[in-house]
Structure 1
Amino acid sequence: MPTAPAPLTRLAEQLGASLDRPESDLLAPGASWNLSQTLQHCAQTVRYSVTGYPRLKPALFRATAGTLAKHVFLRRGATRHSLDAELDGAPPLDPALPAAEAAARLADAVSLFTAHTGPHRLHPAYGRCTHAQYERLHAMHLAEHLPGLADA
């Protein structure tokens, strides 16, 4: 019997089938970014967990408040953060990039992440994460930015 795709992969697949829906059906209420910017941000996050984030919070923060937040989110099954906070040091999000291109970047980042077998890079706030933790955190992050995917 085939196994179900992992949550992050499943959300990425749902996104591909949802691009023809109105942005307002996909984005979190009150989102300040358009769909493309949101997808670019999520792609950066997933990719950087493999390649390395441009900037990290101080080690003391990662070892205390960041680790606590990671465990709270994992226990709760949902993240909660500012939905318009760009990743520190990441290239700016392009509001004019077509959403289909941003979705392709996210799909590429998910493929990179899924195929990755080595240790992951430190998260800027949470610090060290296992592959399984990152998978759950990325899926929760994507679901927070795009709650409408759950309706797809």
Structure 2
Amino acid sequence: MPPIDLARLAERLHHNLGRPERELLAPGSSWNLSQTLQHCAQTVRYSVTGYPALKPALFRATAGALAKRVFLLRGTMKHSLAAEIDGAPSLDPALPVTEAATGLTDAVTLFTGHTAEHAPHPAYGRCTHDEFARLHSMHLAEHLPGLVDV
């Protein structure tokens, strides 16, 4: 299954907010829907504005680069669904889902309109816009598989 097209994400997301969370979230998710949307918004936004913390350069050049290549070749991603972004603000479990969804929509809009070089990913290092688009799509598909199936 191809990953989510980021340009269509906002439309799909807002049309499906009324569905039960368990239908949108990955089985075994540690976070509620709002927290998951906040986390996804953070990673998309940080690819433009800069991540708060990076893994060591050696990690990004070796294990991180290898993980990026594997994910891009496979077209899917597998990672801890409870891993917060190092240095990012805590996810607010009480933030209304509609606000979290708007935050993700805004982050996707920022990303899709971005034409300059992207900030390095904390684990993967430098990524092209296309690589980030594919990686973000896989990331969202893993956290929100119910959104892919609509």
Both structures adopt the same fold (TM-score exceeding 0.5): yes
User: 5+ unaligned residues in a row in structure 2: which ranges?
Assistant: none
- SS in structure 2 of the partner of residue 36 of structure 1: helix
Residue among 89, 101, 106 paired with 1:91: 89
Matched with 2:53 is: 55
Q: Does 1:112 align with 2:124?
A: no
Partner Cα separation in structure 2 for residue 77 and residue 33 of structure 1: 24
Contact 1:11–1:139 (CA under 8 A) maintained in structure 2: no
With structure 2 as the length reference, what TM-score do the two structures score? 0.96
What's the offset of the Cα at 1:100?
0.6
What's the offset of the Cα at 1:108?
0.2
Moved more, 118-127 or 8-17: 8-17
Report the RMSD for the aligned CA atoms in angstroms: 0.9
The C-alpha deviation readout for 1:106-142, integer Å capped at 9, x for no partner, is: 0000000011000000000000000000000001000
The C-alpha deviation readout for 1:46-105, integer Å capped at 9, x for no partner, is: 000000000000000000000000010000001110001100000000000001100000
Q: Does 1:26 align with 2:28?
A: no
1:126-137 equivalences in 2 (<5 Å): 126-137=124-135
Residue among 29, 36, 39 paired with 2:34: 36
What's the offset of the Cα at 1:7?
1.1
User: 5+ unaligned residues in a row in structure 1: which ranges?
Assistant: 1-5
Contact 1:120–1:129 (CA under 8 A) maintained in structure 2: yes
Contact 1:62–1:126 (CA under 8 A) maintained in structure 2: yes
What is the identity percentage for the equivalent residue pairs of Structure 1 and Structure 2? Answer: 73
Matched with 2:119 is: 121
